[in-house]
Amino acid sequence: MEINNFFSLSFFLLLLLGVVESFYYHEKELETEDGFRGMYDRWRDHHNIEQKSDEKFNVFAYNVKRIHESNKMDKPYKLKVNKFADMSNHEFVNMYTDSRIGHLQATVPGHPHINVDPFKDFIYQNVTDVPESIDWRTKNAVTDIKGQGGCGSCWAFAAVVAVEGIHAIRTGKLERFSEQQLVDCDLLGHNKGCDGGLMEPAFLYIIEHGGLATEASYPYVGKRETCDKSKIGKDVATLDNRQNVPPNDEEMLKKAVAFQPVATNIHLSGHGLQFYSEGVYTGDCGTEPNHGVALVGYGVNPEGIKYWTVKNSWGPGWGEKGYINVQRGVRREGLCGIAMHSSVPIKYDPKAPKGDPNAPPDNFVPKDPNAPVKDDPNAPKECPSTPKDPKLRTTQRMQGIRTKLLEL
């Protein structure tokens, strides 16, 4: 009772301070099972979670203990009891990061670097003047954090961040574009809706199909539905090309992020990443990509640790309001494999002087906005046995009538 009264007063003070979006607990609650169970119930109320079981409680208690112990250590990052606290790491990884990126990458010719660039050289290959830090959020090129839910569509969210970024940089207008269009309609290649996908083929789909719809016209529903071309409209984001960043090269990746937000794959698993809260993550993780994210900046913290600023798609309740800072410059492939598979959408600047990396190349031919786009993969197809020539269709119908008469 004393613990509950103490926490009630503490929670009331937090209400007055207006910081109740995060879940807080007192160390005394960790001393007894009653304290843990009271915390568990408050956590469920805080996140509107109805499911309750002894198994879930045991997982919750285990996670809270590990979070508490980690935060007592001298690490450059902190963890928090977030909405995933009653999930084992295995369950969490399967639900939120199992997007089959590694499998899909392995099936693409030229693995690990998709050889699809018609202009060969990486667009930022010869850039030398690169700032020591950049944050595209402060340059009106990054929209608010979104949430993918239980759909394995991280690839679509990562691709859209990059598209929103380059669209804002070129047009001066920040808009939210549609992940759902990619989930529903980008089905002819390696992308599989809620069952995973890759960002570079998503850029190719946007190029070949006339652009990407706004989020308002084609909103996200968290599951794959039939492609609905009527939702796309004419207010779309268009691209001129796409490229992959040379793999396992953080300096080349830095050059790309200096010019625009970049879509990349990362290995997001482990206790530290599940409950990351703030700071620069320097903990353990693998290098087998299992999640699509976007790089929207880089910098150096006051302690001198270099980092990437990563936009995730797990909602604002995870990490630093939806973001994570991942240590930069520690290994060839990047921490958590962040530099292994990255790609950029390209929208040339027609006003850029010749020699500028953003200028259209000499052999570039702009796509005709009135040119027909590829068919909707979900659209009904005409029966192949039906002749397209009207005369042949008439002849076929007459033969059918004659056959019926002979049967009489």
Residue 231, burial from CB neighbour count under 10 angstroms (0-12, 13-18, 19+): middle
Q: Which two tokens stand for residue 18?
A: 């207006």
How many beta carbons lie within 10 A of that of residue 287, not counting itself?
18
Contact 216, 203 (CB under 8 A): no
**Residue owning tokens 């007063």:** 9
Q: Computed over its alpha carbons, how large is the radius of gyration of the chain?
A: 25
Contact 252, 282 (CB under 8 A): no
Residue 85, Cα to own-chain centre: how many angstroms?
22
Q: Which two tokens stand for residue 221?
A: 């529903």
How many beta carbons lie within 10 A of that of residue 323, not counting itself?
20
| Catalytic residue (choose from 241, 291, 325, 358) | 291
- Cα–Cα distance between 358 and 351 in angstroms, integer? 9
The reply to whether 151 belongs to the active site is: no
| Catalytic residue (choose from 312, 336, 341, 358) | 312
CA neighbor of 123 nearest in space, from 345, 312, 408: 345
| Catalytic residue (choose from 154, 185, 285, 336) | 154
Q: Which residues pair with 78 in a beta bridge?
A: 278
The reply to whether 154 belongs to the active site is: yes
The reply to whether 241 belongs to the active site is: no
Catalytic positions, please? 154, 291, 312
